[in-house]
Amino acid sequence: MVAVRVVTWNVNSVKQRMPRFLPWLDQRQPDVVCLQETKVPDDVFGELLDGALAERGYEAAVYGEARWNGVAILSRVGLDDVVLGVEGAPGFPDPEARAVAATCGGVRIHCLYVPNGREPDSDHYRYKLAWLAALKEVVAAGPADAIVCGDMNIAPTDADVFDPAAYAGQTHVTAPEREALAALQSLGLRDVVRDRWPDERVFTYWDYRAGMFPKDLGMRIDLVLASAPVAGRVKAAWVDRFARKGAGPSDHAPLIVDLDEAPDGDIGPVVPPPSAPSVKQGKHRLPQA
């Protein structure tokens, strides 16, 4: 087995993140990077990054579209059997660039940007649930060594949002969404962050508005789910909160998982930890509410 650092990160436009992305790549030295919301067509992604990635030893599997969505896997431990999209998944109405899979270092890796759902019981919400059902079938038919990761747009439990009452009537926390995620996990996939940090406050997304990040009013919706053979190799799992700080960040932070070796030690769950205290429940509203 080769020690591998796997990262998932919703960059919310790779073009906008360029001033930060390559320095971050050089600092963290991931072996596999799963990106979501690249928001550029494949040719533009190549113009922006192909040369710099090749210099650093990465191959890239890219599935993008102009303005919205877009996913990519970058790997320096092999990139084989690339599949774009999810077989059998619906479109809205056309297929969207929301999934890419490849085998990297002997592990089948699925990089996902799950549909948002927009509003409960909307057409987009039903699309989200159907898309997840199709994903489950694809993962079930795959190999034993697998990682399913990305922006899942679902907080697994109430512990994964800063205030459950603030999300009443919103997507990401409804029972059908959580049941769809649980059905995917029923294939034997482990939530490696919660396995390692069962009782800690861990968020990966903070709205840009209303000072949500410095107040640590966030959600944990970016996940790494690993099959048992891969989960057993995890030596560290942590949120790189430093990448959410400063000028021009994404509204998501990278989630880093180390297999077999942990170059930075078993740190976490959030680095650096937030200074804001936990909030009183039932006292907040979302910026969009």
Residue 282 has pLDDT above 80, yes or no: no
pLDDT band at 275, cuts 50/70/90? Answer: confident
Q: Retrieve residue 75's tokens.
A: 């790997």
Collect all residues with Cβ–Cβ distance below 8 Å to 262 and sequence separation of at least 6: 235, 236
Is the distance from CB of 204 to CB of 252 less than 8 angstroms? yes
Q: Retrieve residue 56's tokens.
A: 């650093």
Domains and CATH numbers, the chain: 4-271 (3.60.10.10)
On average, the pLDDT of the chain sits at 95
Residue 289 has pLDDT above 60, yes or no: no
pLDDT (tens digit, 9 = 90+) per residue, 160-186? 999 999 999 999 999 999 999 999 999
Q: How many CB atoms lie within 10 A of CB 27?
A: 11
- The pTM of the full predicted model, rounded to 2 decimals, is 0.96
- The span from the CA of 121 to the CA of 129, in Å, is 10
- The span from the CA of 175 to the CA of 164, in Å, is 13
pLDDT band at 280, cuts 50/70/90? Answer: low
pLDDT (tens digit, 9 = 90+) per residue, 68-114? 999 999 999 999 999 999 999 999 999 999 999 999 999 999 999 99
